[in-house]
């Protein structure tokens, strides 16, 4: 008499293993895609934060300068240009443009326009 435990063995067939591997491979590829999207988002966020800080820094410099002028420079890999025009009595209009390159090689531009109250014209 044979032992029923030995004759009633159950396991995975080769087809079941192959299907499980295909499902796992697709899942890993989707996770890799999500990781790449997250890296792109992190790069965009980092560059946008730097550009905003560079604009704010230049705005503070122009606000504290008695006779600010227009110009341009590069700071932290961000190209910035600014224009200062008289907008009326004791008021200046300041425009700051920043340009940088994202991780995909695309040029991104952001702009800031504001008015500064001055003690003199």
CATH class given for the domain over 9-117: mainly beta
Q: What is the pLDDT of residue 3?
A: 55
pLDDT of residue 47: 92
For residue 96, give every residue at least 6 positions away whose Cβ sits within 8 Å of its Cβ, in sequence order, or none: 55, 58, 59, 80, 81, 82, 111, 112, 113
Boundaries of every domain in the chain: 9-117
* Cα–Cα dist 96/28, whole Å: 44
Q: In tens digits, what is the pLDDT along the chain, a chain of 121 residues?
A: 555 555 556 777 888 899 999 999 999 999 999 999 999 899 999 999 999 999 999 999 998 888 888 999 998 889 999 999 988 888 999 999 999 998 888 999 999 999 998 876 4
Q: Which two tokens stand for residue 38?
A: 């997250």
- pTM exceeds 0.75, yes or no: no
């Amino acid at each position: 008499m044979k032992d029923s435990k030995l004759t009633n063995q159950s396991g995975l067939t080769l087809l079941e293993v192959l299907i499980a591997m295909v499902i796992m491979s697709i899942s890993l590829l989707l996770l890799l895609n999500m990781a790449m999207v997250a890296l792109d988002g992190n790069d965009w966020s980092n560059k946008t934060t730097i550009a905003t800080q560079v604009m704010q820094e230049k705005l503070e410099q122009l606000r504290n300068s008695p006779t600010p002028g227009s110009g341009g420079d590069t700071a932290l890999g961000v190209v910035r240009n600014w224009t200062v025009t008289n907008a009326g009595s004791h008021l200046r209009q300041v425009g700051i443009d920043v340009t940088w390159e994202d991780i995909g090689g695309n040029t991104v531009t952001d702009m800031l326009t504001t008015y500064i109250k001055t003690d003199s014209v």
